Chain A
Amino acid sequence: MISPRVAFRAVQARVGALRRAVLAEVEDINRALYHVLRAGVLLSVAFILFGFALEAFGAGGLPTQSIPPRRLLVEVLRFTPAGYVNLGILVLIFTPVARVFVSLLSFAEERDRTYTGITFIVLVNLLSSFFVLA
């Protein structure tokens, strides 16, 4: 016979181990980056397929040129295929940026100064190409 106290302790230990495992997984930088990259690509593909579906239901023609980010919101709110296809492409372009941003946060959290600095330089380079040159 197992005494209730021993059983309780065993359960407690098991729950604790599970919690630590989950936490370790959540905190793992690799895991975080995996989710960012995966989500970005899946979201992009989903928007594009939604755009194609809108076209198939006659909500407008497929786009022949890129919509500047400034006008994109209007098109998206109007549910035009062009809006959603462009949105999907833009989400994909910004996926690597999100990935760099998440790595920056992770390195900062680990108090790794050297790599926080390196990642910060990469992010600045990226954003400067987005906002200065574009």
Chain B
Amino acid sequence: MRAGRTRPRASLLLPRPFAEVMASLEVLLVLLVAAFLAGFGGSFLGIGGGVFLIPFMTLALGLEIRTAIATSLIGVIATSSGAASVYVRDHLTNLRLGMFLEVATTLGAISGAVLALLVDEQLLFLSFAAATLYAGVIMIRTRETAKDRAYRSGEEDHLTKRLGLSSVYFDQEDQGVYRYRVERPLAGFAASAAAGGFSGLLGVGGGFIKVPAMNILMRVPMKAAVATSNFMIGVTAAASAFIYFSAGFVEPTLAAMVIIGVFTGANIGTRLLLRTKAQRVRFVFAILLAALGVLMGLRAFGVAVVL
């Protein structure tokens, strides 16, 4: 890219209020706190935190949606890398399952990021609202007991066996070692491709699709699903983040604030996940997701609601 042409798609952009935003230190500090919470929630739930950061940046800070997406993608990578390191070290992450599904998510992410440069804002907001509401419903409906985690009898899926996807993890919550097997690998693969597409399109990690897909479709225990999702979202986001970075949509100072905030939040979120019962906190997040989904839906129809 040549020096004088850092924003090749400037004609596609709306007037950008970034210069005013940049001027106030308060806004940067507010973003830092928001990123901290996103990193905390993201690492705890196995999502990138983009579902919280993007609505916050567009609704509360009034940033243009593509800038918000680009900044959030950076935050997703920070959440993933920060949290996944701990989950991988503690063997909570199913590495093989992660690698297998990453094939699907990276393919989806590439197509999604290209689509995002072409589709209009209303569609972005609408699909975001739908995705958020969907995630909320899923979180309320998912429950998991020790019995659900236990190994089931019967024949393993052929592909699961061939790829050695089934694994073992240690749960600090009840000091139990759980051997689990992965079911319906192809359905999970398809869902991950969709999640990757969402990631490129909306700048979120796609974790809110991957975690339910692994937990409900593939019957992976919740904590292992969260850790594996966290492991994957960084790769998915990196594929699209570099495209946004090169296209000049990343605002470095905002992104830097997000990285620092998310890094701190993720450090605390991972510790909490290892120890706590996920059930209660998930309920709170489900309500938050539903609320954000409604707000973004309103925004798609031109009703801007200030948070």
Contact = CB atoms under 8 A, between A and B. Distances in A.
Contact of A125 (B19, B107, B163, B259): B107
B259 A126 contact: no
Interface stretch (B214-222, B248-256, B295-303): B248-256
Contacts of A125: 103, 106-107, 110, 239
A-B pairs with lowest CB-CB distance, top 8: A125-B106, A37-B85, A96-B234, A134-B246, A63-B252, A34-B89, A96-B238, A129-B239
A134 B242 contact: yes
- Interface of chain A: mostly helix, strand, loop or mixed: helix
A51 B250 CA distance: 16
B62 to A, nearest CB: 16
B218 to A, nearest CB: 17
11 contacts: A48-B260, A52-B256, A69-B246, A85-B252, A114-B162, A114-B163, A115-B96, A122-B99, A126-B238, A129-B110, A130-B239
A96 B80 contact: yes
Contacts, number: 163
Interface string B103-121: 1001101100110000000
A67 B102 CA distance: 29
B103 A134 contact: no
A128 to B, nearest CB: 7
A122 B18 CA distance: 35
A5 interface: no
Given A48-B260, A86-B252, A133-B243, A92 B103 contact: no
A30 interface: yes
A45 B259 contact: yes
A28 to B, nearest CB: 9
A64 B259 CA distance: 16
Interface string A44-72: 11001101100000000011111111110
A56 B303 CA distance: 40
A41 B78 contact: yes
Interface string B240-269: 111101111111110110011001000000
Interface of B: 1, 3, 6-7, 18-19, 22, 74, 77-78, 80-82, 84-86, 88-89, 91, 93, 95-96, 99-100, 102-103, 106-107, 109-110, 113-114, 162-163, 234-235, 237-243, 245-253, 255-256, 259-260, 263
A118 B253 contact: no
Interface string A95-134: 1110110010000000000110011011001101110011
B74 A93 contact: yes
A68 B235 contact: no
A24 B80 CA distance: 26
Nearest to A132: B110
B203 to A, nearest CB: 13
B81 A41 contact: yes
B259 A129 contact: no
B242 A93 contact: yes
A65 B6 contact: yes
B77 A31 contact: no
A92 B88 contact: no
B110 A93 contact: no
Contacts of A76: none
B81 A66 contact: no
Contacts of B6: 65-66, 68
Nearest to A42: B263
Contact of A89 (B96, B99, B250): B250
Interface string A6-45: 0000000000000000000000011101100110110011
A92 B259 contact: yes
A68 B110 contact: no
